[in-house]
Structure 1
Amino acid sequence: MGIQKIGNGLEAINFFEQGKLDELKKYCLKDVEITYKIYEHGRKFGFLKYINKWNNLKKIKVDFNQEINKAEIQMTLGG
């Protein structure tokens, strides 16, 4: 897919703390776009590829078409 992230979660925190809300918005929108593209690719083709920490290309099977048991979904971040 050739997609790269434009930052990491720690940078997002720094953007917020420094009041750089436009940069934070840009980071978040790009992150959602990438997540959606990964999801759609996995749903359509049934696999994802990634480069592991040894710089080897790996392929994993995924099934994003499974039914989700909504009773198991936690809707809050708190405990």
Structure 2
Amino acid sequence: MFEIDSPFTMVVLIVLIAVGAGVIKNWIKTRGDREADEETQAEIFRLRKDVERLTERVRVLETIATDKDERLREEIRRLA
């Protein structure tokens, strides 16, 4: 049916091997990316919490810096 020595058969085999290797490579890369995505999502969640916390701290510092002396003294007393 097919002769292994024919150039057409060799070309077809080379193309099939190359395409198969590409598919396997993409499958492995996609599987690895899923694991990295879970780690990335956890890191993004942690960073968002840090940003929220820091935003609140900046808000307090802005209030302290812009309020009159009386309110500043009262705020410092409450914090101490």
Which TM-score band (shorter chain)? 0.3 to 0.5
Q: TM-score, normalised by structure 2?
A: 0.36
> Who wins on radius of gyration, i.e. which is larger?
2
Q: Please report the TM-score for the alignment, with normalisation by the length of structure 1.
A: 0.36
Considering fraction of residues, name the structure with more strand.
Answer: 1
Bigger RCO (CA 8 Å, 6+ sep)? 1
Higher helix share: 2
